A and B are shown apart, each in its own frame.
Chain A
Amino acid sequence: MNKQEKEQYLRDYGTLKSQGKPFFPYAVAKDSAMAIVVMAVIIAMSIVLGAELGPKADPTSTTYTPRPEWYFFFLFELLKVIKPPALVPLATIGVPTICLILLFLLPFYDRGPERRPERRPIATTAGIFVVCAIGYLTYLGAAAGPPTEIDIPIPANVSSQGPEAVANFEAGSQVVAQSGCAACHRFGENGNSGPGPALTNIGARLPAQAIQRTLLNPSAPMPSFSALSEESPKQFAQMVGFLAALK
């Protein structure tokens, strides 16, 4: 907006304002009505949905599903859209940071005098696109199944080692499933395909030693399983054994 356009806007706005109504009581009445609606919605949600509490936080437990509050789903899902590990920092911080900076600076690069949405095609299209993207990612996050079930056929090399190996494999599968690994990793047909890499063939790519090291000292955002290895070394060994057998 140049100086002339600014003055034009202020003049037009002054005219509109002088033809308007006083804030009190007209706008206050509408705001109060809206406040009553907001209050009613909050009270209704509290009564209907309650505030139930899950089991107590237990750092050593392996049954958890790391799910954020629903309005963070779109950020969480963004991690799954961007796959290559090298780009994960870009997804986690890069994209949200850039979007945030763009949001902060919006009035400084969009300086045109036009305000009607239908006459600002770029801004309106971008706005609708962002709304749809956030809505879609939130839907994806909400639709993601509970990551506590892993159903993988027993590999031939395990079943050939006898019933004890099969039992260990199944126990490991249970531990992995209960640990919520499938929230971020894919196991054949089960689990989410991101943010973490697929573990369908992890045993072929990494030896058991390396898997154990990764579980104890993972790269962010994966949580460490050192607590599990201290509390229950047997379960931890089963977990490592199961992952190493995935070939």
Chain B
Amino acid sequence: MAKIKLPAPPSNPLSSPKRPGKKYGPTGPLGHAEEAGLTAVGWIDERTSLSGGLRWAMFRKVPKGTNWFYTLGSATMFAFLSQAVTGVFLAMYYEPSATRAYESIRYINNEVFLGEFVHGMHRWGSSVMVILIFLHMGRTFFFGAYKYPRELNWVIGVALLVMTMTMSFSGYLLPFDQRSYWATIVGVNINGTGPLVGPYLSEFLRAGPYFGATTLSRFYAIHMLMVPGAIAALMGFHLYLVAKLGTTAPPWIKAKGPEELREDEVTVER
């Protein structure tokens, strides 16, 4: 990649002392606009001190050798954001009742402007997100990136994987067509065969001993409120740990001391 000279982090213009003999203050409308922006940012920063954290997160260094495999995590997050946005638009029309759910989805598909397109994005976006999260986990596994000091981040990642699968399981019922209905019945029954907690889990999912009218609203609540919030929170913690501990270098990249580096440079110059 070409070398780009990075701009220095902006210093607070309000704190620099005025020099005598020079004209200060904004000139022209552009200058006024610039100063208004800086003042607003300075006002927020004075009260939140966010700029330090932002600089820490954005200008931290990523190790040498970082390649395209390292974009899979952020790609998964992006797929999640796409799911969240398309999900919000679907929720504007969807009705989580056993009698109305199917009709509302059909209304989205047939009547709403771009309805089927957004519905399709949400539906296939789930497949894309599952693929990406597995690829991201595979990269972490094969590069040994879960080892010290990133053990906790691996555990959080596995929890995020489980939640992603929960999302796709609970979302599968919502269109309430034949396929989703019967597949969910079998899925819930499979959960019920588990030892100890199995029967309680399936009864919780069904909201009772039988698949009833409240089952759909329960799946809707799990899909809309419970799991996405937990995913967003854990994702934030996951990202914080990534920024704090740094992304790993590919395992075959060797760290070179200052002396070895100098030798390296010498050979290059020759």
Assembled-state Cα–Cα distance A39/B71 (Å) = 14
**Overall SS of chain B's interface:** helix
Distance in angstroms from B255 CB to nearest chain A CB is 4
Q: Which residues of B contact A16 (CB under 8 A)?
A: 63-65, 249, 253, 255
Specify which chain A residues have a CB less than 8 angstroms from the CB of B147 in the assembled complex.
1, 107, 110-113, 115
Output the least CB separation between A144 and chain B (Å).
Answer: 14
- Which residue in A57, A131, A220 is a CB contact (below 8 Å) of B177? A57
Binds A, one of B41-49, B127-135, B220-228: B127-135
Give complex CA distance A9, B151 in Å: 14
Report yes or no: A71 in contact with B143, Cβ–Cβ below 8 A: no
Q: Which size class do A's interface residues fall under?
A: 35 or more
By a CB distance below 8 angstroms, the chain A residues around B177 are: 53-57
Contacting pair A42 B124 (CB below 8 A): yes
How long is the Cα–Cα vector from A59 to B211 in the complex, in angstroms?
9
Interface string of A76-96 (1 = CB under 8 A from B): 000100000000110011100
User: How distant is A15 from chain B, measured CB to nearest CB, in Å?
Assistant: 4
Q: Quick one: CB contact mask for B120-143 with A, threshold 8 Å, 1 for yes?
A: 111111111011100000100111
Chain A residues contacting B195 (CB-CB under 8 Å) are 89, 93-94
B62 at the interface (CB under 8 A from A): yes
Q: Cβ of B52: which chain A residues have Cβ within 8 Å of it?
A: none
Q: What are 10 contact pairs spanning A and B, CB under 8 A?
A: A16-B255, A22-B58, A27-B247, A46-B124, A49-B124, A51-B120, A110-B147, A117-B142, A127-B142, A223-B186
Which A residues form the contact surface with B (CB < 8 A)? 1, 6, 9-13, 15-28, 30-31, 33-35, 37-39, 41-43, 45-47, 49-59, 61, 63-72, 79, 88-89, 92-94, 97, 100, 103-104, 106-108, 110-117, 120, 123-124, 127, 131, 180, 220-223
